[in-house]
A and B are shown apart, each in its own frame.
Chain A
Amino acid sequence: MNKILEKFRKMKTSQKIEFLLASLCTISFLIGMPVWAWFSGENKMETMTKIKEPENLDIRAGHYHSIINFELSDISIEDMYDTANNVSKPEYRVFSVSAGDYRIPYKLQLAHTTNIPFKYSIYKATEVDSAGTNTVAYKPIYKDPDDPTTNGRNYYYQIGEEVTLSALNGDETNEVYYGRQIAKNGDACYIKTYEDENDEPEIYAVPVYLQSETITPTEKGEEAHDYFILKIEWDHENSATNFTNWNKAENNKETDIIYITASRSTG
């Protein structure tokens, strides 16, 4: 380096100018080449955006297990009311709703036929570590071969506030008489479903449609689910009024169909 500096010092002024200009020219040339290449090829522009995932609403069983674990067929009507001690023994079932990554507000909808004088209600729930006061146990019935830790164990849920369900077609005026709310005969829901005049469904086979207010999904991170408990009660008090024989409940007597759905809500 010193040698080069020494040589530079020994140069005449004109040679120094020539040397500096040549160096500048070379450096500019080196910088200029890629700039020129970029510049001459420049005729494109681009922008990137994200595709949102489909806004799924999933209903699953307790602990976000497969819905196959949400089982109602094992309810024993005969055991739901202790007549001797006059104590109601409701049945509880846990289910969960996932509103996906985008946390879409939704409404819960419950539709059921009314053969059995059951009362249905839904409560919010939170998963807890162990059994306690006002907790409900959920035990998956399906043995998951990929996750043996779930087999045979109980999960516990604390019962929270009740989710208010409004009936779209409930016959409220005759609720006491029938011992439960049955569907209105001939209202807008009825006409839309059974518009053919030859349709004459038995009134207990006409579903009652119930809907909750808008529920805002819980913010708990990516894997968050909302837990709910379906409470099924034997409406002993009212059904005793006009249908006394029904107090002697029999498991083989009747069947009801229940649908629980979650519907995206815009308001």
Chain B
Amino acid sequence: MKKHKSDNISAFSDEDIRNIRRSAIIKFAIVCIFIVIMIVFNTISWFTMNTDVKGSGMSIAARGPDYEILVLENGSNGQYYADYHRLVADSSAVVWQMVDANNMGNYNDTSENPGIKPGSYGMVSFYVKPLVNSVDLSFNFEIFGYKYDKDAANSADKMKLLDSDESPAVFLNGHILLFEERTGTSEDNFIYSKPILSNKDMQRVISQKTYTKKANDAPTQVDIYWIWPTTLSKVIDARDCTKISVTEAPFTNKTPYSESSGTNAYNEVVDNIRTFPDYYCKGVNRPANTSAMLSEATIVTDYDKYGDYYDQADNDIGMGVDFILLKLSVSQVSSSGE
């Protein structure tokens, strides 16, 4: 047998042997390239999934082709309601970790009964790190309401996603407000600007925001201010109402963003109330067209009624919604440079 085999090998010409060797080298090179690629991917995925990466104080929450979104890291203590979140968590989304000074009433500290109610406010933050000179990003915030059923037989049924078109979850659109800017030093004098308001699809969108690469790749901090107004008079100026006495001024900024635009935060929110009164007030239907919209003057004149409808919606949220989920989706619009 051995001789036979040897005879076969000796039958190859030098050219054949060179081809065989060349072929083996190519195969080997391909294998090496694959190995390198896999090592790179596994390293990145480890880094991306790991929320405990020390050193920078941040961990990557999301990544696109030309950007990274980072959040402050806080290990496993960052979210108080993690056990409930796990029941409904989107497997393709990263858990937005919270920190002491920067949370949504859900930081896992020693305080009892965290959570939010009318009058609660705060800030959630993330960081944008462009990987090219300039990147335009869109941010889409959604708030989902859940009712918890502790008696449900299996864990999948414990958290019931509430229909966002109907009471009480629909009121989350108008009662938990998000803003890009806030000035002032305390709850008494906070003034909010650049509202991120729910549109007809119940999505709150910052459509296109440009971020440029900073020195040393330093990320840009983005703060989103959230507040659950105690009364409708916090967003609509009802001090002229003669039926009841309203003394509070709105917390939205009435100063125009620029001389040319004339738009201001106050009007943006009031317009949203007029367009989508069903987000704010219980029992008030959305107008079929522009001419059927409530005027600001009507809401102020009848504030005794509309203020009460707002409070009733607050109560419905409190009685009918146990948990809310704030989801942020990031998408890249365009980029430039390297």
Contact = CB atoms under 8 A, between A and B. Distances in A.
Interface of A: 14, 18, 21-22, 24-25, 28-29, 31-32, 35-36, 38-39, 41-55, 101-102
A150 B42 CA distance: 68
Nearest to B326: A47
Contact of A48 (B64, B84, B117): B84
Contact of A43 (B97, B324, B329): B329
B9 to A, nearest CB: 13
A70 to B, nearest CB: 25
B31 interface: yes
B323 A49 contact: yes
Interface residues of B, number: 62
Nearest to A46: B327
Contacts of B84: 48, 50
Contacts of B318: 51-54
Contacts of A18: 27
A42 B323 contact: no
Contacts of B113: 52, 101-102
Given A28-B38, A46-B327, A39 B63 contact: yes
A41 B95 CA distance: 15
Main SS of the interface on chain B? mixed
B289 to A, nearest CB: 33
B244 interface: no
B222 interface: no
Interface stretch (B85-93, B203-211, B260-268): B85-93
B93 A44 contact: yes
A38 to B, nearest CB: 7
Contacts of B328: 44-46
Contacts of B116: 49-52
A25 B31 contact: yes
A205 B105 CA distance: 48
Interface string B22-45: 001001100100110110011011
B233 interface: no
Nearest to A47: B96
B69 A47 contact: no
Contacts of B145: 51
Contacts of B95: 45-47
Contacts of A47: 79, 85, 95-98, 104, 106, 124, 325-326
Given A41-B92, A43-B64, A32 B114 contact: no
Q: Which of A18, A29, A51 has the most CB of B within 10 A?
A: A51
A74 B116 CA distance: 45
A42 B330 CA distance: 9
Q: Which 4 A-B pairs have the closest CB atoms?
A: A50-B115, A28-B38, A44-B93, A47-B96
A38 B71 contact: no
A49 B92 contact: no
B117 A55 contact: yes
B325 A48 contact: yes
A29 to B, nearest CB: 7
A14 B318 CA distance: 70
Interface string B287-329: 0000000000000000000000000001101110111111111
A43 B330 contact: yes
Contacts of A29: 34, 38
A148 B322 CA distance: 33
Interface in B111-155: 113-117, 124, 126, 145
A41 B321 CA distance: 30
Contacts of A54: 117, 314-315, 318-319
B81 A28 contact: no
B62 interface: yes
B117 A45 contact: no
Contacts of B167: none
A51 B124 CA distance: 17
